[in-house]
Structure 1
Amino acid sequence: MSSITNKLSEGYQAAKRAVSSAPPNDAYMRWDAPGVEEVKPTEEQTTREIAEIMKNMQKHNFDQHRHAFRATHVKTQGIVKGKLIVNSDLPIHLRQGIFAEAGRVYDVAGRFANEPVFLQPDQSPGPRGLSLKIFGVNGEPLEGANESDTTQDFFFNNAPMIELTDIDTCLDIMRLRERHFDDPVTLQAKTALRTDALKQTAPTMLPNTNIISMNFYTQSAFRFGDYYGHIALFPADDEMSKKGSEKVQSNQSREILSEWLREYFTERGAKYEFKIQLGTDPAHHPTEDASVVWQESTAPYQTLGILEFPPQDPLSPARRVFWEDHMSLSPWRGLAAHRPLGSINRLRKAVYQQSQKSRDHLNASTSRQINSVDAIP
């Protein structure tokens, strides 16, 4: 059955490719080519406003729970440790950054979480995320990064696009969310009045199923050595995909997603294909509009390696507290070869710094960069 499905999908993508005006699929564009990034003159001021709003929302959460959380992806569902194995037969154009050495094996740690800024019950539909810290990387670091850091951080969500679109739209939405932080009904009503209402409400339409079954996407673009692209993770174990039939029900525990993860990892491990789409044209594969889904017909996924997590306890108290109160991650921590691109990513540089400072201040704790997976309980 899967072979038939794959053939139908290939035929569909070939038909879309035939009518597309995009360049050939292998005409990969350089990451620094004209048009790939376009910085607006107002971006710095907008970034400061959004960072302040996010800080205020962290304070709202603190006032309710007497504990400060991250600015987004507040609710931890599970934390796992494993390995990233780079494919041994990578073609030359994919041997970039941390994937430069075919067959290389990296230690990895990841955190599954609900994306919203609220500590919601799992019955509330919405985006789910997976953040990764890859250890032992070598290469030129991003500007401003500590040269002693040897990690690469990536962030994924279970939708291939982000409704925030760009930095200006993000400011509008964050103003709404802060203004109606304690009134989700009014927030929903106000959002429904926007001209992009369908886009903004799309996250609530995502399937509310077992997290282990989900695909994960960076949503925004990153440099990939000479080129640029979108990265994604796809379950590579049929048992993971089967869990997609497990849908959250109203009569279940409000913590059912973490309960399902613990149940799954008690019995077996998880495996993902680590893939990338490479861009060929900003008109078809933009970095500045993160709400555009890159079509697979013009930017097919190519496999870079396998991400594996063995059986383990994904939510021990020691591990959860260590990650939530002491772990430091940022899309701007890593190699220059994987530089974040687009206004949403440029914004994240300031927001993640502000989030960490606010969290440390309110919790009287210290977040820190770690360079070994063994430092995590």
Structure 2
Amino acid sequence: MMATYQWEDLASRKYVPWEAMGVEKIPPDEEEDMKAVIAQINEMQQRQYNKARHCFGGTHARTQGIVKGKFIIPGDLPRHLKQSELFREAGEYPVACRYSSEPGDPGLDDRIPQPRGFAMKIFDVKGEMFDAGRDYPTQDLEFNNTPATELADAKTTREILGLRLMYGGDKPELYNQLKERPDRELQLSRDKVANKHLESMRWYSQSAYRFGDYVMKYSLVPSTETQRKLAGQTVKPEDSDDVLHRWLRSFHADHDAEFLFEVQLLENLEEQPVEYAGTVWDEKRYPWQPVAELVIPKQDSWVYGRKSFWEDHMRVDPWHGLVTLQPLGSSNRLRRVLYPASSALRRKMNARPEMNVRSIDEIPG
């Protein structure tokens, strides 16, 4: 459960309004960059299709597990955190969550260190939705186990995907190209991510979102002692190539999982940029504040019907959700056009219709 928290200092801070000048600055060539990225992602999907004869998403192609739980909003949040319809009042919502590996290769060996992903679809949410998800009462949220993304804006994404397409089969040369970039440390960091038990990881939004009147990044923090102890369980060369999914399934079969859902609010645009998602917001200067809990009861995290249904028919899209939780910044504007385009190619090539589920009960298992 959420512990007693000292809110006084945090409640009195001057948080930047989400509509303030400078929060979003759309560069003149962004639309051209977005069109190029769509073509690049579709090419990556086509390449994977040529190997597997099945089309996957351009990223997060490898499912590690899918679980169901509940997202709990307490009734005693301070006023500055009662933002959006979701957090304004106490409530409990059904939620479906998917663990994944971030690259677009569904056969990626778990022993290779790479970023990992976590996605949530919260059901029965009430409030004004964006047009893309207006008929579906869900709030979709995406996470990564790194606090910043190397695909930090549309321009950078176009440049990096171009290098990966050109040198994807020649990793030494790809590294040589990345080392010549001014953001080389960020670009090379993805191969140095700690490869450990997924249930011990902290998960980050990476990019910024509206939070009612304000702007936030969000995070999930494992909150049980059992989960925290797993942090030392790292993948070794002698482990199987699907070790992460096996560890995850073993954990969920025997244990409940709990996470704190925390937000980090925007106070200083120079130190907390919204347009560039490659910068970590300093958590000492701008603390994380808990606003909800995610609780996942014991269950089988590897149900074949659930996995195939999610991969073949569903997608998580942050533009499926509340207007008061609007995705912000270049990387999120890119997602608004990229995700539907990537999904459309998958549905066409796999002959599987997209299904925007209205109830968690529509998901098998």
Give TM-score scaled by structure 1 length. Answer: 0.91
Determine helix, strand or coil for the equivalent of 1:296.
Answer: coil
1:208 matched residue in structure 2: 195
Residue of 286, 310, 313 corresponding to 1:323: 310
Q: Which runs of 5+ in 1 are unaligned?
A: 1-9, 11-22
* Amino acid in structure 1 at the alignment position of 2:261: F
1:134 matched residue in structure 2: 122
Question: What's the offset of the Cα at 1:298?
Answer: 2.5
2:122, 2:219 → 1: CA distance?
15
Whether the 8 Å CA contact 1:99–1:304 is kept in 2: the answer is: no
* Amino acid in structure 1 at the alignment position of 2:228: S
1:226 matched residue in structure 2: 213
Cα 1:25–1:112 change in 2 (3 A) is farther
Question: What's the offset of the Cα at 1:327?
Answer: 0.8
Residue of 113, 120, 143 corresponding to 2:108: 120
Residue of 278, 284, 306 corresponding to 1:297: 284
1:243, 1:366 → 2: CA distance?
38
2:3 matched residue in structure 1: none
Question: What's the offset of the Cα at 1:92?
Answer: 1.3
* Amino acid in structure 2 at the alignment position of 1:155: E
| 1:235 is aligned to 2:222 | yes
Question: What's the offset of the Cα at 1:146?
Answer: 4.0
Question: What's the offset of the Cα at 1:275?
Answer: 0.4
2:362 matched residue in structure 1: 375
2:237, 2:349 → 1: CA distance?
34
Residue of 204, 223, 233 corresponding to 1:246: 233
* Amino acid in structure 1 at the alignment position of 2:334: L
Question: What's the offset of the Cα at 1:297?
Answer: 2.5
1:286 matched residue in structure 2: 273
Question: What's the offset of the Cα at 1:102?
Answer: 2.9
* Amino acid in structure 2 at the alignment position of 1:114: S
Whether the 8 Å CA contact 2:11–2:78 is kept in 1: the answer is: no
* Amino acid in structure 2 at the alignment position of 1:214: M
1:102, 1:140 → 2: CA distance?
16
1:14 matched residue in structure 2: none
2:348 matched residue in structure 1: 361
1:168, 1:221 → 2: CA distance?
17
Question: What's the offset of the Cα at 1:185?
Answer: 3.8
1:328, 1:292 → 2: CA distance?
27
1:288, 1:69 → 2: CA distance?
28
Cα 1:72–1:368 change in 2 (3 A) is same
Whether the 8 Å CA contact 1:25–1:300 is kept in 2: the answer is: no
Determine helix, strand or coil for the equivalent of 1:145.
Answer: helix
Spell out the pairing of 1:87-166 with structure 2 (5 A cutoff). Answer: 87-118=74-105, 119-142=107-130, 144-166=131-153
Whether the 8 Å CA contact 2:210–2:325 is kept in 1: the answer is: yes
Determine helix, strand or coil for the equivalent of 2:132.
Answer: coil
Cα 1:146–1:296 change in 2 (3 A) is closer
Whether the 8 Å CA contact 2:133–2:319 is kept in 1: the answer is: no
Determine helix, strand or coil for the equivalent of 1:302.
Answer: strand
1:160-190 CA distance string (max 9 Å, x none) = 1111222111110010111223333432332
Whether the 8 Å CA contact 1:25–1:299 is kept in 2: the answer is: no
Determine helix, strand or coil for the equivalent of 2:230.
Answer: helix
2:158 matched residue in structure 1: 171
- Number of residue equivalences: 356
1:17 matched residue in structure 2: none
2:35, 2:316 → 1: CA distance?
20
2:66 matched residue in structure 1: 79
Question: Bigger shift: 179-188 or 236-245?
Answer: 179-188
State, as a whole percentage, how many aligned pairs show the same letter: 37
Question: What's the offset of the Cα at 1:98?
Answer: 4.2
Question: What's the offset of the Cα at 1:25?
Answer: 7.3
